[in-house]
Structure 1
Amino acid sequence: MQEPRILTIILNYRTPEMTLKAAEAAMREMAELPGEVLVVENGSGDDSLAILQREAEARGWTRGGRLRVLDSTRNGGFGAGVNFGIRAGMSDGSAPDFYYLLNSDAWPDPGTIRHLRDFLIAHPRAGLAGSGVRGVDDDPHRTAFRFPSIASEFEGSIRFGPVSRLLSRAIVAIPLPQRATRIDWTAGASLMIRREVIEATGGFDETFFLYFEETDLCRRALDAGWTTHYLPDCAVVHVGSASTGMKSWTRTPGYWFDSRRHYFIKTHGHIYALCATLALIAGQSAWQLRRLIQRKPQADPDRFLGDLIAHSLTAPFRRPATRPEPAVLTPLTEDEA
């Protein structure tokens, strides 16, 4: 029986040096596993493609088709870039058994890719498995989550202990499990996905430019009968926000608000989405009042509450983004690859 194959997909957006480090770690981990590494240059608009192609060839990674660098030609966001890689498939044109998503600013510990794959092999109804994630300072990142809800929007924005205790079962980021645990969703920084999940869901919804796309995929996978799991026994080191710049946001970009709104409407409908936004506004308003009275430090990007309200008032009058119908992704042609 042929050992299941893995296609490791790494997206690059203006971080070629970091992407090369991630690719090097992935190549090391894939050395004894059947499969390939695919680096997708995701429309950086700089010299990333030339750097990645030159270095990959110079380091001998491209020999035998073990690593390819492909140009998506546009920056359609995280989901669009991953879908491009999924459509590209293996170098022989076939589909792998598993897709492993690795952020360009993440480096797997020894055995991580194998451990994630083997878990999915051993658990036939498990569709997605994410590893532990820790920062370069060795602090663990919370990447095991519940699905967002009206209650979680209020709890997360009000930042008030009694409310958090009352709504503890709604808090999105759960305490990090100490053993393999079924969860609602996990981050795409280090995520193994069964091919059948992609076939059942059609891949990522490209309406999400950034944020909420993993949440949505795990939700649709669950609807199709596939569960998501968090495995703390393997991990990656993750810089975090290297491409998005989230840690240094002075204002929340419009695409974050767009993604949040799209998720709630798509998953729960317009009325629920409105209630979730009102809960977020109420929690934020209470938090801002406490900040003023107690002189607490700022915890959100500048003008977050105002931007949230402005987006909520104008979004219904803007042309809604269309999303692709769930379907098996069409393989790339030779010219596209």
Structure 2
Amino acid sequence: MSDELTVVTVTYSPGPHLDRFLATLAHATDRPVTVIMADNGSTDGAPERAVERYPNARLMRTGGNLGYGTAVNRAVASIDADAGDPEFLIVANPDVQWGPGSIDLMLAAAARWPRAGALGPLIRDPDGSVYPSARHLPSLVRGGMHAVVGPFWRSNPWTAAYRQDRAEPSERPVGWLSGSCLLLRRAAFAQIGGFDERYFMYMEDVDLGDRLGQAGWLNVYVPSAEILHDKGHSTGRDPARNLAAHHRSTYTFLSDRYPRRWQAPLRAAMKGALAVRAGLVVRKARRNQAKGGRSW
């Protein structure tokens, strides 16, 4: 196995975030790193400038805005066969800033968890608070109540249980990990066929974690490794559109888990409830955007 790591990031006019991503990457691992930027149609010139500035960065144009999971899959498929068959790869958003040794700490955890198909770090928001990136899988009750009452009652017990808000940070298996930064065992990623390309954006990481678990792999949270994620850079462009996409992806995920014919009424109920919720939060987002305020 090669010590060289491949880091895949999906770019879509990432602006100054990409430079911070690449600059801090040097502090995240002692291993040699190649970065593949799967570009979904950037128009700001940031990926091109990155290639000029960082010799380890490679630009791969996807030919259009294919969505996050599809772009990652294309990049992984493009990894050179002569790269030495590395055991791991990193998938991360371009608005991530790497903490010191963060990748090496995840690699050390992977050695402790040989059945870990995905490992994820502790993620901090720009204000320094910890983002709940290691969660249970969304059950019908827990996930449903989180979806229905979460936007209006943030301290509700279903959301707290789903997000594991009250759990102390500890290295442990979880249901799924935020796709904003993942260390993936390539054998596990290949076994399940990578990301499900039906998800244009949102829920592809939930689906990935679920399918890894069904295939016998673990999703392991590694809070000793830390990154910062400025997640507002993409969602802030058109929050109403993104919220609507989130609800469509949520229905795709849930309907897959209840596929039987006799479960059709349940699927219809979920679709209706999500449509109502989407209408409410999208209207709220548009009002807040018109006022110049936060949307979600």
Provide the TM-score with structure 2 as the length reference: 0.82
Alignment partner, residue 145 of structure 2: 154
Provide the C-alpha distance between the structure 1 equivalents of 2:186 and 2:222, rounded to a whole number of angstroms. 19
What SS does structure 2 have at the residue aligned with 1:265? helix
- How big is the shift at 1:254? 4.0
Provide the C-alpha distance between the structure 2 equivalents of 1:227 and 1:252, rounded to a whole number of angstroms. 29
Q: Structure 1 residue aligned with 2:73, among 80, 83, 100?
A: 83
- Residue identity matched to 2:124: R
Alignment partner, residue 223 of structure 2: 232
Alignment partner, residue 290 of structure 2: none
Change (3 A) 1:198 1:250: closer
Alignment partner, residue 335 of structure 1: none
Structure 1 residue ranges without an equivalent (≥5): 289-298, 305-337
CA contact (8 A) 1:147 1:172 kept: yes
Select between 16-25 and 214-223 the one with higher mean Cα deviation.
16-25
What SS does structure 2 have at the residue aligned with 1:33? coil
Change (3 A) 1:28 1:56: farther
Provide the C-alpha distance between the structure 1 equivalents of 2:199 and 2:17, rounded to a whole number of angstroms. 24
Provide the C-alpha distance between the structure 2 equivalents of 1:280 and 1:110, rounded to a whole number of angstroms. 40
Alignment partner, residue 131 of structure 2: 141
- Residue identity matched to 2:267: A
- Residue identity matched to 2:199: F
Alignment partner, residue 21 of structure 1: 20
Alignment partner, residue 267 of structure 2: 273
Provide the C-alpha distance between the structure 1 equivalents of 2:146 and 2:10, rounded to a whole number of angstroms. 33
Q: Structure 2 residue aligned with 1:40, among 38, 41, 55?
A: 38
Change (3 A) 1:87 1:3: closer
Alignment partner, residue 200 of structure 2: 209
What SS does structure 2 have at the residue aligned with 1:235? strand
Provide the C-alpha distance between the structure 1 equivalents of 2:210 and 2:179, rounded to a whole number of angstroms. 14
Change (3 A) 1:250 1:302: same
Alignment partner, residue 214 of structure 2: 223
**1:1-337 residue pairs with structure 2 within 5 A?**
4-30=3-29, 32-44=30-42, 46-48=43-45, 51-57=46-52, 59=53, 61-62=54-55, 66-90=56-80, 92=82, 95-151=85-141, 152-159=143-150, 164-165=156-157, 167=158, 171-175=161-165, 176-245=167-236, 249-250=239-240, 253-269=243-259, 271=264, 272-277=266-271, 300-302=281-283
Give RMSD over aligned pairs: 2.9
Change (3 A) 1:27 1:70: farther
Change (3 A) 1:134 1:215: same
Change (3 A) 1:276 1:5: farther
Provide the C-alpha distance between the structure 2 equivalents of 1:146 and 1:96, rounded to a whole number of angstroms. 29
CA contact (8 A) 1:4 1:34 kept: yes
**Structure whose CA Rg is larger:** 1
- How big is the shift at 1:253? 4.8
- How big is the shift at 1:274? 3.2
Alignment partner, residue 310 of structure 1: none
- Residue identity matched to 2:10: L
Provide the C-alpha distance between the structure 2 equivalents of 1:72 and 1:252, rounded to a whole number of angstroms. 21
Change (3 A) 1:115 1:251: same
Change (3 A) 1:20 1:205: same
- How big is the shift at 1:128? 0.6
- Residue identity matched to 2:196: D
Provide the C-alpha distance between the structure 1 equivalents of 2:159 and 2:97, rounded to a whole number of angstroms. 32
CA contact (8 A) 1:27 1:37 kept: no
Select between 71-80 and 82-91 the one with higher mean Cα deviation.
82-91
Structure 2 residue ranges without an equivalent (≥5): 286-296
CA contact (8 A) 1:6 1:35 kept: yes
Select between 125-134 and 16-25 the one with higher mean Cα deviation.
16-25
- Residue identity matched to 1:7: T
- Residue identity matched to 2:144: E
CA contact (8 A) 1:38 1:68 kept: yes
